[in-house]
Amino acid sequence: MHRTLSGPDGHPALLLFMNRFDFIIVGAGSAGCVLAKRLTESGQHRVLLLEAGGSDRSPLIQVPLGYGMTYADPQYNWMYTAEPDPAMNHRALYWPRGKVLGGSSSINAMVYMRGQEGDFDDWRDAGNPGWGWSDVLPYFKKSEDHCWGASEHHGAGGELHVSDFTDQVHPLCERFLKAGDALGFQRTSDFNGPTKEGFGLWQMTIRKGLRESTAKTFLRSAMRRPNLTVIAHAMVRRVVIDKHRATGIECTIDGVLQSFSADKEVILSAGAVNSPQLLQVSGVGDAAHLQSKGVPVLHHLPRVGQGLQDHLAVSYFFKSKVPTLNNSLGPWYGKLWAGMRYLWDRKGPLGMSVNQAGAFVRSRPELERPNLHLYFNPISYTAGSAPVGKRFQLQNPDPFAAFLISFNTCRPTSRGSVLINSPDPLAKPRIETNFLTTEHDRQDILDGSRLLRRIAAAAPLAEVISSEHLPGAQVQSAEHIFADFGQRAGSVYHASCTCAMAPDATHGVVDARLRVHGIAGLRVIDASVFPAVTSGNTNAPTIMVAEKGADMVLQDNR
């Protein structure tokens, strides 16, 4: 059998594949590409990597600012929609997820953020030995090629290049940082270094003006290996389970049902939505729910799909007296200039993310850790981020000078779920967010709103603000703040925790070695195994989980 797929050099490559492998990885995303690289390094294991999406070669993916276009493109995006949430004024929030080689690492905002050290100590203390900060730091460093070189906190020579954009960010970022100074917050030069709290600039997974997805950094070189087979546009329908052991998968390729056997393990790396969905349609999940959807129960595992967490943010928009990126990227001639600049030296607005500065802060002095994650973007999209029919756009900034400051709670305590609606693996699952169902989360929303106003009122940022565009100065009371939040807040696209690590099947789906409780030969290795969402962006922690998970797979299959 064969399938034509783009090879490492961009030319068609004829990949020969058989039906039997040592390992089958479902999902060539942030985790799956890392696993494919690591599991094939020795040359001893035959690995099959299956991806529902296609090539990541598009300029919309490779050019950093192109993610505003892939935000709404079904060619690269699953384009999920969550169920209407009472806390969101009964709105159904849009949930983009990568459906392409590289997964969400091919369509995200490219911020490299590991999270607070305590995030991982919490994982360990929840009954998952080996997942504390001291355990996971070596795996963050293993994959990293930091522009500052190797140090106690950073790696060099790894696959994933991490860049510093201090000399390229918009001048308004410095005003934001100085506003933090004026309010008594500390600064940090490195959110992934010794000081992870304070105001600072984000580091980004960009190399020489091009996106560093895991497809580009991990998978591309591994595709040259004869023991790796990669099949794109492969829709996995179920995991084949025989007597409580995973033995392979069934998938559809070009409309034809195919079966592949795994002599050692099947590894689900399909993400926080698709991994629990695939388990459920395969007969692994809560028995009552599976029976209600017509799925034969092979193993009762009640926490599959439960425990969903995400970061929920709202943006406050301010009209500016000085030019912002709206002035640069709004007019046609500004777009032309940005394009020419990018072609010249791969710099300028197109060569980086618009998410340029931010902070991790404690809104109340008695807190032990930062509880708020802030974002500063020298651009605004109030007119261009609304739904358009069944599609969404994030392409044109507002036709006036403006910027935004956003916030989300670092460690929300509300939990949702991802549950199948039918036995059809191609039917989208039901995503229940259950946002703001705890007083902890509601208090952080009030704190965040009031802090953003304090930052905007602090010099020198206040000096360039002509007015608060949204939500407007009239929104002050707790009642009005929550009403506005429910009307405008949205996901930050950090879905996780739906196949969580826990020491037993009552509290989770996988054990500390990422093995599915009660099913031999089956693991989940992606963001769904987080016991709790990390404080910041989730792409770097997902890559870390894959690095550590790959070691576990190889150790357990010696």
Of the candidates 91, 95, 140, the one whose C-alpha atom is nearest the C-alpha of residue 310 is 95
Of the candidates 298, 352, 222, the one whose C-alpha atom is nearest the C-alpha of residue 518 is 298
Please state, in angstroms and rounded to a whole number, the distance separating the CA atoms of residues 49 and 51: 7
Question: Given the structure tokens 């693996």, which residue do they identify?
Answer: 425
Q: Is 244 a catalytic residue?
A: no
- Per DSSP bridges, beta strands 20-26 and 210-211 are unpaired
Please state, in angstroms and rounded to a whole number, the distance separating the CA atoms of residues 430 and 414: 17
Do residues 423 and 287 make contact, with C-beta atoms less than 8 angstroms apart? no
Please state, in angstroms and rounded to a whole number, the distance separating the CA atoms of residues 536 and 21: 36
Helix (H, G, I), strand (E, B) or coil at 306: strand
What does each C-alpha distance from 364 to 444, 446, 540 come to in angstroms?
10, 12, 28
φ, ψ at 137 (rounded to 5°): -55, -45
Other CB atoms within a 10 A radius of the CB of residue 230 amount to 27
Do residues 319 and 400 make contact, with C-beta atoms less than 8 angstroms apart? yes
Do residues 376 and 405 make contact, with C-beta atoms less than 8 angstroms apart? yes
Helix (H, G, I), strand (E, B) or coil at 237: strand
Do residues 31 and 269 make contact, with C-beta atoms less than 8 angstroms apart? yes
Longest dimension (CA), the chain: 69
Q: Kindly report whether the peptide bond that precedes residue 138 is cis, defined as omega within 30 degrees of 0.
A: no
Please state, in angstroms and rounded to a whole number, the distance separating the CA atoms of residues 437 and 21: 45
**Structure-block tokens of residue 438:** 């705890």
Of the candidates 535, 522, 14, the one whose C-alpha atom is nearest the C-alpha of residue 282 is 522
Tell me how long the chain is. Answer: 558
E-assigned strands of 96-202?
144-146, 160-164, 198-201
DSSP 52: S
Catalytic, out of 161, 494, 507, 517: 494
Please state, in angstroms and rounded to a whole number, the distance separating the CA atoms of residues 143 and 145: 7
Please state, in angstroms and rounded to a whole number, the distance separating the CA atoms of residues 538 and 493: 9
Other CB atoms within a 10 A radius of the CB of residue 165 amount to 19
**Structure-block tokens of residue 162:** 């991490």
Phi-psi region of 346 (alpha: psi -120 to 50; beta: other; left: phi over 0): left
Please state, in angstroms and rounded to a whole number, the distance separating the CA atoms of residues 391 and 276: 25
Angle (CA) 360-362-365 rounded to 5° is 155
Catalytic residues: 494
